[in-house]
Amino acid sequence: MEKIPFVTKEQVEEIVKKYPTPFHIYDEKGIRENARKLKQAFSWNKGFKEYFAVKATPNPSIIKILHEEGCGTDCSSMAELVLSDKLGIRGNDIMFSSNDTPDEEFAFADKIGATINLDDITHIPFVKKACGKIPKRISCRFNPGGVFTLGESKEGFQVMDNPGDAKYGMTKDQLLEAYATLKNEGAEEFGMHAFLASNTISNDYYPALAKILFSLAVEIKEKTGVQLSFINLSGGVGIAYSPDKEPNDILKIGEGVKKVYEEVLVPAGMGDVEIYTELGRFMLAPYGHLITKAIHEKHTYKEYIGVDACASNLMRPAIYGAYHHITVLGKENAPLDHVYDVTGSLCENCDKFAVDRKLPEIEIGDYLAIHDTGAHGFAMGYNYNGRLWSAELLLREDGEVTLIRRAQTIDDYFATLEGFWDVV
Answer positive or negative: Cα dihedral of 381, 324, 331, 305.
positive
Is the CB of residue 148 less than 8 Å from the CB of residue 163?
A: yes
**Is 75 a catalytic site residue?**
no
Helix/strand/coil for 193: strand
Backbone φ and ψ for 422, nearest 5 degrees, come out as -80, -15
Is the CB of residue 3 less than 8 Å from the CB of residue 325?
A: yes
- The residue from 71, 140, 310, 347 that is catalytic is 347
DSSP string computed for 139-162: EEEE---S-EEEEEETTEEEEEE-
- 423: exposed, middle or buried (Cβ count in 10 Å: 0-12, 13-18, 19+): exposed
Residue type, 97: S
Is the CB of residue 304 less than 8 Å from the CB of residue 344?
A: no
Question: Could you give the dihedral angle defined by the CA atoms of residues 144, 147, 151 and 156, in that order, rounded to the nearest 10 degrees?
Answer: 160
**Cα–Cα distance, 85 to 268 (Å, whole number):** 37
**Cα–Cα distance, 363 to 345 (Å, whole number):** 18
Omega before residue 22 within 30° of 0, cis: yes
**Cα–Cα distance, 148 to 130 (Å, whole number):** 35
Helix/strand/coil for 266: helix
**Cα–Cα distance, 69 to 38 (Å, whole number):** 10
Answer positive or negative: Cα dihedral of 113, 67, 285, 306.
negative
414's CB contacts (< 8 A; 6+ apart) are 420, 421
Which residues are marked as active site? 347
